[in-house]
């Protein structure tokens, strides 16, 4: 059986079509019935993934093709979820490196490829979206080869197989001139190029845990690849923790994959990816081993977080109105639960018992956690994201990002101009038809608030992507937000009359009939200072009416900020108040007199 198993992960930059390719492979392998209703991107199973069209969590499935059993792992494409990619690469024997036939290799392509090359995996290159207008597959293959060389791939890794696909239309080809109407060529390449799992069937059982989940019926379940030996349901085994301690237990349930479904299996052998239930406390990176010979497996190290923010118990006048989970105990328990499965997250206590410092891979990584928490009924305030500095040999180092901006050529000057104050250094400029690709190495601090500015400047036409590059010496100060904010002075409900008078002062974030409190931010000031305003003032009415004095009030629609935009917008002395129903901006210090005193100090 071991010789007929193929374990592969699909890795790529965001939006290059990983999850769509999985759909096409499932259809070809006959996982769905003829008349079965199929949703698009079937692997993006949680609500946030479906809404945003991105993969956040890596997921497993298995298909049978002829004599072969192919275990496939779908991975996220965003750099912020790189921890998910790093840990699953330990489970597989090869990767399908997916590259868009028009875009070519992008920042995250470089990141995931480097990780797989470092582990000694031999990738299969899949040039996807060959049906896209303007596709240039031959050119993209050359770019991929150059990237392999740049990342010091071995001679064996450089001799990669190439498959051309259109995942959306469901066909694959070994040659651009060949005709094809199915994914058969891709399966043939996987079966012939991916080596079967290594490991000794007769050695004591060892399985590395790379994923954790919870099931209401069977409790905590651990997923991973069997490196050595075999295992049967009901068998007594040991859990080897990362500190070396050993806990004995029994397998209450052994699950394998059939298509997308988990099914009960009596036994599993070396190389298979299975899920085991039976231990109430099991963590990622720990080893399930034979009870009579418990030996732990080495675990791949995960890159450290680069961004941190504070999660604070909400203390605004509206605290506890909309959320069910509002105390520090609730928030701490939820963060501890997240730490069990989110390997690239870190949580630290601070001097204040109501504040937790949470560190992650990027703004998106942390904002997805915040979004999940608010949907579960949590209410809290979060501070501005800050980068994590390092100290080495007395030098202050900061994280640098590799930034790629694709823009229409008429905007290239303004984008380059924006990078100067943010300490961005241009490393490449490549024309791509009507657009131009600008590549920079920029401090992670310089990315905070950048996306919104670039989108405004280019009228929404820019495509901005970035991935972690390296740590480098501190680059000096980067100017913050240029504009001040409009701050509500009192508790009350906004009126159209008062907002109409405030419109010339700046951009409003709220409309009429919204409850506000003193210290809440209601808009962006047109000047660089903060301004206290009263948005709740009503019109003084009398019995006498003069004709023409009641002009119709025309309010400009407010600029409603998403969670990510709010986190990018706030300054060091501001917070984002997050509840299940609202996202509000506020000053840390709500009292205006205290604010003035602290600003002078």
Measure CA 397 to chain center: 24
Question: For 485-600, CATH number?
Answer: 2.40.50.250
Distances (CA, A) of 265 to 1, 221, 258, 543, 553: 14, 15, 10, 83, 69
Distances (CA, A) of 321 to 11, 325, 491, 580: 43, 11, 15, 10
Does the fold of domain 485-600 match that of domain 307-379? no
Measure CA 240 to chain center: 30
Q: What sign does the CA torsion over 230, 234, 238, 239 have?
A: positive
pTM (2 d.p.): 0.75
The DSSP symbol for 48 reads H
The first and second tokens of residue 386, run together, are: 């800050």
Q: What distance, in Å, lies between the first and last C-alpha atoms of the chain?
A: 72
- DSSP conformation letters of 284-327: TT-EEEETTS--PPP-PPPPPP-EEEEEEE--STTTTSS-SB-S
Give me the architecture of the 390-473 domain, per CATH: 2-Layer Sandwich (3.30)
pLDDT tens for each residue of 398-444: 888 888 888 888 888 888 888 888 888 998 888 877 788 888 999 98
- DSSP conformation letters of 352-403: STTEEEEEESSHHHHHHHHHHHHHTTB-EEEE--EEPPEEETTEEEEEEEEE
For residue 144, give the nearest of 178, 116, 115, 110 by alpha carbon.
110
List the binding residues for GTP: 15-20, 128-131
pLDDT at 44 over 70: no
The first and second tokens of residue 255, run together, are: 């699950």
Measure CA 384 to chain center: 18
Place domain 206-290 in its CATH homologous superfamily.
Answer: Translation factors (2.40.30.10)
pLDDT tens for each residue of 114-143: 888 888 888 899 998 888 888 888 889 998
List the binding residues: 15-20, 128-131
Q: What is the pLDDT of residue 28?
A: 78
Domain chopping of the chain, boundaries = 2-193, 206-290, 307-379, 390-473, 485-600
Distances (CA, A) of 553 to 157, 212, 326, 516: 67, 56, 39, 21
Q: What is the pLDDT of residue 38?
A: 46
Place domain 307-379 in its CATH homologous superfamily.
Answer: Elongation Factor G (Translational Gtpase), domain 3 (3.30.70.870)
The CATH class of the 2-193 domain is alpha beta
The first and second tokens of residue 525, run together, are: 């000031």
Q: How confident is the model over 98-106, as a mean pLDDT?
A: 85
Given the structure tokens 């809290």, which residue do they identify?
380
C-alpha span between 77 and 97 (Å, rounded): 11
For residue 276, give the nearest of 227, 229, 218 by alpha carbon.
218
The DSSP symbol for 102 reads T
pLDDT tens for each residue of 238-264: 888 877 888 888 888 888 887 777 788
């Amino acid at each position: 059986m071991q010789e007929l198993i193929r374990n592969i992960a699909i890795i790529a930059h965001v939006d290059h079509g990983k999850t769509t390719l999985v759909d096409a492979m499932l259809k070809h392998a006959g996982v769905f019935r003829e008349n079965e209703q199929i949703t698009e991107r079937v692997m993006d199973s949680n609500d946030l993934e479906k809404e945003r069209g991105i993969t956040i969590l890596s997921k497993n499935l298995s298909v049978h093709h002829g004599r072969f059993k192919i275990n496939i792992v779908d991975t996220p494409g965003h750099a912020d979820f790189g921890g998910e990619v790093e840990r699953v690469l330990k489970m597989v024997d090869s990767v399908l490196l997916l590259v868009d036939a028009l875009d070519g290799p992008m920042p995250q392509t470089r990141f995931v490829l480097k990780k797989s090359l470092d582990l000694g995996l031999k990738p299969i290159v899949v040039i996807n979206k060959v049906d896209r207008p303007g596709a240039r597959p031959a050119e993209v293959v050359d770019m991929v080869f150059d990237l392999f060389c740049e990342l010091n791939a071995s001679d064996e890794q450089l001799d990669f197989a190439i498959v051309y696909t259109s995942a959306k239309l469901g066909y694959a080809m070994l040659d651009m001139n060949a005709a094809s109407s199915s994914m058969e060529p891709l399966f043939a390449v996987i079966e012939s190029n991916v080596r079967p799992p290594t490991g000794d069937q007769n050695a004591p059982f060892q399985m590395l845990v790379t994923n954790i989940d919870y099931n209401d019926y069977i409790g905590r379940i651990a997923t991973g690849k069997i490196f050595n030996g075999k295992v049967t349901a009901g068998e007594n085994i040991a859990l080897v923790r990362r500190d070396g301690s050993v806990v004995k237990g029994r397998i209450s349930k052994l699950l394998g994959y059939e298509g997308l479904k988990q099914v009960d299996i009596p036994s599993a052998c070396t190389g298979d990816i299975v899920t085991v239930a039976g231990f109430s406390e099991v963590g990622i990176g720990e080893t399930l081993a034979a009870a009579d010979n418990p030996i732990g497996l080495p675990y791949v190290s995960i890159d450290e977080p680069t961004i941190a923010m504070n999660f604070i118990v909400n203390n605004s006048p509206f605290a506890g109105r909309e959320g069910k989970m509002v105390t520090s105990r609730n928030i701490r328990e939820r963060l501890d639960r997240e730490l069990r499965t989110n390997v690239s997250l870190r949580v630290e206590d601070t001097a204040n018992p109501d504040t937790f410092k949470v560190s992650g891979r990027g703004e998106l990584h942390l904002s997805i956690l915040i979004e999940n928490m608010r949907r579960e009924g949590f209410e809290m305030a979060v501070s501005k994201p800050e980068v994590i500095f390092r100290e080495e040999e007395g030098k202050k180092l900061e994280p640098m990002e590799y930034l790629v901006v694709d823009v229409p050529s008429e905007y290239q000057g303004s984008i380059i101009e924006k990078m100067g104050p943010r300490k961005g250094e241009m490393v490449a400029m490549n024309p791509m038809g009507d657009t131009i690709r600008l590549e920079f190495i920029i401090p992670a601090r310089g990315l905070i608030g950048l996306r919104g500015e670039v989108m405004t400047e280019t009228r929404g036409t820019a495509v901005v992507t970035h991935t972690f590059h390296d740590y480098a010496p501190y680059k000096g100060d980067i100017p913050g937000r240029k504009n001040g904010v409009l701050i509500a002075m009192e508790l009350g409900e906004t009126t159209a009359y008062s907002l109409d008078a405030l419109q010339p002062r700046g951009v409003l974030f709220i409309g009429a009939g919204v409850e506000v409190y003193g210290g809440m931010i209601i808009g962006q000031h047109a000047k660089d200072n903060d301004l206290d305003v009263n948005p709740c003032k009503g019109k003084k009415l009398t019995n006498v009416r003069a004709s023409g004095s009641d002009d119709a009030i025309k309010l400009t629609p407010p600029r409603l900020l998403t969670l990510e935009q709010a986190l990018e917008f706030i300054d060091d002395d501001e917070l984002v108040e997050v509840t299940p129903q609202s996202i509000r901006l506020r000053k840390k210090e709500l009292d205006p007199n205290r604010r003035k005193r602290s600003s002078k100090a």
